[in-house]
Structure 1
Amino acid sequence: MSSNYTLRDEIRDYWSARAATFDQQVGHEIFSEAERQAWQDLFLRHLGPGEGRSALDLASGTGVISHLLDGLGFKVTGLDWSDAMLTRARAKAASRGARIRFVVGDAERTLEKPESYDVIVTRHLVWTLVDPEAAFKEWHSLLKPGGKVLIVDGDFVSDTLVKRMIRLFERVTGRTMAPHRPDAMRETHERILRQVYFSKGARAAEVADLLRKAGFADIAVDHDLKRIHREQAKHMSMLKGLERATQHRYAIAATKS
């Protein structure tokens, strides 16, 4: 492997390899109207209606969050570093007639114009950041005064009672409850996880502290994601649904003063 191949490159290539099956997994794509409404209600609670305001969906993947924001009336830009993800995102937008702008870019170094967005939204991005403090400063610079960032994330690393129950079930039955991935891809994921900033898990309090250091104010941590998790659990095994409901998951809203 070239010495110029960085951790960020490896993260980009890993998600590019996941693009073909990304929308098949619960928690990535949305599989019911009830879940869609639960997500939109979360966004309305923290961001209000779009009303033509500009929104940036960072690490947009195949555009799931971009479409939710578009449906609320935001003028949406989806930014992702993976061409494979963006190819699917653009095709999905075209099939739905959605006017969403998708651009290639690194969520930690976007190259977008300062003070050009009213809202920034991320889902399951922060736990993968290499340098979250620098990323948060970048996001702060992209927002207009009074703009808001909404981060939906969680600690997907720390061990829990339910995780131990799942491991016991798998050991006893010889069946795996995790999405099937080739061994090489699983090893890549584990190698990446060991190197990112939140390798021990992205806890809400630490994320909030870093947002404060980056200049954000009025930081609110929202753990009330029950409606979303309840709808997702309808498409999962009982143990996996229980795991999702009991994990340290949250939404954090913060304002550029």
Structure 2
Amino acid sequence: MTTSPSSSAQAARQNVARRLRDLRRSAGLTVTELANECGWHHAKTSRIENARTPPSPTDIRLWCRASGAADQAADLIAASQHAESLYREWQQRVRAGLARLQDSCVDLYRSTELLRVYSPVLVPGLLQTEGYAQALLSIDARFREVPDDAVDAAAARVRRSQVIHEPGHRYVFLIEEAVLYYQLGDAEAMAAQLGYLLTAGALPQVSFGIIPTATHERVMWPKETFDVHDDTLVSVELVSAEVNITQPSEIALYVKAFEQLRSMAVYGAEARALIVKAIDALG
């Protein structure tokens, strides 16, 4: 079982590739013979079998027909399309602007009764202040070489965060203590963000925990940033893409990791003391 979020999509792709390879071998065809049957270069067959090139629906139909397994084409096409849907390129999502990207998440938050968020590097989006969000989104726009609409995007992110006050939802946020010291924006923006965190955990529907850097004998090492929406979806942010995990066994692993991380966190007065310490360090 693969537990890396970046490998979830690749594992699905490799599963399709392996099934296609098995069909070719069962039919007694060489790579070149199958390529000739399908009307393409043998290198394409190798790329598909090694999961370097995703096959199109037409590719799969031709492959299955050549292998005497036309009845398996529909299932393999569905599996291939599912594998590709797991991995959505960030560049495609931000073409309409970062502000639109913020608005696109609202419905998902509203449909989630219990949202669990773990972040080792940033203040979670639903807890970000406008100044902090603007600094972060401006950096993101420059990195991705897309139009910098960070001012509008930050305002949209704050509007989106109002969902946290709507009834019928519970939120559990976990961060590593280091998040408090990664400065985004100027000292004033960072102080405002830290100040907001002092009150965030007081909301009745919110649990806000901080895992101290000085934790002895960690039961779980820092993980990638991930959100667990109820027990139906895990969303993981990578540099190049967002990976959405819907496989129950994989979701269960993330829930298990979250609970182990949560067991190391401090809350309430202890968490506020860590935040005050970080504010003092701003000088």
Q: Same fold (TM over 0.5)?
A: no
Q: Which is richer in strand?
A: 1
Q: Which is richer in helix?
A: 2
**Normalization by structure 1: what TM-score?**
0.28
